[in-house]
Amino acid sequence: MSKGVLMVNLGSPDSTDPKDVKKYLGEFLMDERVIDVPYWARTLLVKGIILNTRPKKSAEAYQKIWWDEGSPLIVLSKRLQSKIDHNTSVPISLAMRYGTPSIKQGLHELHDQGVDEVLLFPLYPQFAMATTETILVLAEELRKEHFPEMSFTTVPPFYNHQDYIRTLGNSIAETLKDVEYEHLLFSYHGVPERHIRKSDITNSHCKIDGSCCQSDSTAHQFCYRHQCFETTRLVAEYLGLKPNTYSVSFQSRLGFDPWLKPYTDRTIERFGKQGMKKLAIVTPAFVSDCLETLEEIAMEGEEIFHEVGGKNFTVVPCLNDREEWVKVLSRWIDEWAHQKPVEA
Ligand SMILES: C=CC1=C(C)c2cc3[nH]c(cc4nc(cc5[nH]c(cc1n2)c(C)c5CCC(=O)O)C(CCC(=O)O)=C4C)c(C)c3C=C
Ligand SMILES: [Fe+2]
Ligand SMILES: [Fe+2]
């Protein structure tokens, strides 16, 4: 048996050309775990409406954050992969759930190196149907069809892992060490409320009423909302943040359904209107900076804050390829690579 790792992130368009953005959004939004309505309704919504209007607007947003080497999300994921590859003893491949390099290409790459025992590593701290689950489902379909000799082990969501909490806490502390701020906002990517109910394995726990996520429940192993609150609670504890000096919000909603609240844009606006002048913001659902952090938060978020009288707006970068994060991920991988098989 030979071991290898497939790290998987979300993906980006191949370029900022609206045609490429349309292709990427088409693949992304036609995923039944992202827009989770019947196929005919998804086709009508995505191909009939969204893809006729959104690609131009999204392409303009991508143009604002695009780097010479390409999409920040892809470039940063590749840097992370390369640094981990230097630090570990097993081959590391990188794939994107949408666009390129695809999960099929990543598995091929490992297969060509003789790997038959794969550690699937979704690069998401918190579980969501639209992120972790869709990666695992597609990888398993591809395994059955093209790589039946392979076996998979999966890295579970690491939203409460002490190494992740410490690394995130240290990164926040480093960015904010000389910064004055009145409040630290933890802004997570949103999901429709319906997704939280669908992922509730007890079918009865999640009420999205502000209290269910704080009680104990087996539902929480698949509850994105609970996991976002836990990451926040643990980081606040690690940093010794005082109550009412930090809070949670959810960004990037799409469509007219209710998404997790409070919404980040409205929260920033409210803070400014209440007279807050100095706001810091961190985005722990993303391990790599991307459109959602570099444009929606660092550009749009700052603009909203300034429009309502805010002054200092500080954004904590994602973990990206920071040394401490590379060491943590390399250690997790090496621990898996060197563990002895469990005896029957
Ligand atoms: C961090 C986890 C993410 C969750 C959960 C998530 C859910 C989700 N997203 C959309 C729709 C869009 N997301 C878009 C961009 C985007 N989303 C994530 C991560 C999560 N999404 C990332 C990292 C990115 C950035 C990609 C990049 O190239 O930098 C976009 C595209 C951009 C745009 O047009 O605004 C859309 C659309 C839904 C519908 C959803 C849950 C149902
Ligand atoms: Fe998204
Ligand atoms: Fe809950």
CATH code, domain with 89: 3.40.50.1400
Question: Do both 223 and 329 map to the same domain?
Answer: no
Of all ligands present, the nearest one to the C-alpha of 126 is 1
Question: Do both 253 and 270 map to the same domain?
Answer: yes
Of all ligands present, the nearest one to the C-alpha of 286 is 1
pLDDT in the model for residue 255: 82
Domain assignment present for residue 30? The answer is yes
In the reported structure, the alpha carbon of residue 212 is separated from the centroid of ligand 3 by a whole-number distance in angstroms of 4
Question: Do both 108 and 169 map to the same domain?
Answer: no
Q: Exposed, middle or buried: residue 210 (CB in 10 Å: 0-12, 13-18, 19+)?
A: exposed
Question: Do both 152 and 166 map to the same domain?
Answer: no
- Contact yes or no for 128/191 (Cβ under 8 A): yes
Q: Which domain holds residue 196?
A: 162-315
Question: Do both 177 and 41 map to the same domain?
Answer: no
pLDDT in the model for residue 204: 83
In the reported structure, the alpha carbon of residue 29 is separated from the centroid of ligand 2 by a whole-number distance in angstroms of 10
Question: Do both 78 and 208 map to the same domain?
Answer: no
pLDDT in the model for residue 102: 98
pLDDT in the model for residue 80: 98
Domain assignment present for residue 332? The answer is yes
Domain assignment present for residue 39? The answer is yes
Question: Do both 280 and 333 map to the same domain?
Answer: no
ipTM of the complex: 0.93
Q: Exposed, middle or buried: residue 14 (CB in 10 Å: 0-12, 13-18, 19+)?
A: middle
What ranges in 147-182 are assigned the alpha helix state H?
162-176
Q: By alpha-carbon position, which residue is closest to atom 30 of ligand 1?
A: 25
Whether 189 is in the pocket of ligand 1, judged by its Cβ within 6 Å, is yes
Question: Do both 203 and 89 map to the same domain?
Answer: no
Whether 131 is in the pocket of ligand 1, judged by its Cβ within 6 Å, is yes
Domain assignment present for residue 23? The answer is yes
Of all ligands present, the nearest one to the C-alpha of 195 is 1
Closest ligand 1 atom to Cα of 128? 5
Domain assignment present for residue 344? The answer is no
In the reported structure, the alpha carbon of residue 283 is separated from the centroid of ligand 1 by a whole-number distance in angstroms of 13
pTM given for the model: 0.95
Domain assignment present for residue 221? The answer is yes
Which residues fall in the annotated binding site for Fe(2+)?
Answer: 189, 292
Q: What angle do CA 195, 129, 131 make, to 5 degrees?
A: 130
Question: Do both 228 and 134 map to the same domain?
Answer: no
Whether 231 is in the pocket of ligand 1, judged by its Cβ within 6 Å, is no
Question: Do both 303 and 224 map to the same domain?
Answer: yes
In the reported structure, the alpha carbon of residue 188 is separated from the centroid of ligand 3 by a whole-number distance in angstroms of 16
Question: Do both 173 and 101 map to the same domain?
Answer: no
Please give the average pLDDT of every successive group of 10 residues along the chain, which has 344 residues.
96 98 98 97 97 97 98 98 96 98 98 97 98 98 98 97 98 97 98 92 81 85 95 98 97 91 97 98 98 98 98 98 98 92 55
Give the C-alpha separation, 290 to 281, whole Å. Answer: 15
Domain assignment present for residue 188? The answer is yes
User: Residue 249 forms beta bridges with which residues?
Assistant: 187
Whether 320 is in the pocket of ligand 1, judged by its Cβ within 6 Å, is no
Domain assignment present for residue 343? The answer is no
Question: Do both 295 and 332 map to the same domain?
Answer: no
Give the C-alpha separation, 80 to 132, whole Å. Answer: 19
pLDDT in the model for residue 339: 86
Give the C-alpha separation, 316 to 168, whole Å. Answer: 10
How many domains does the chain contain in total? Answer: 2
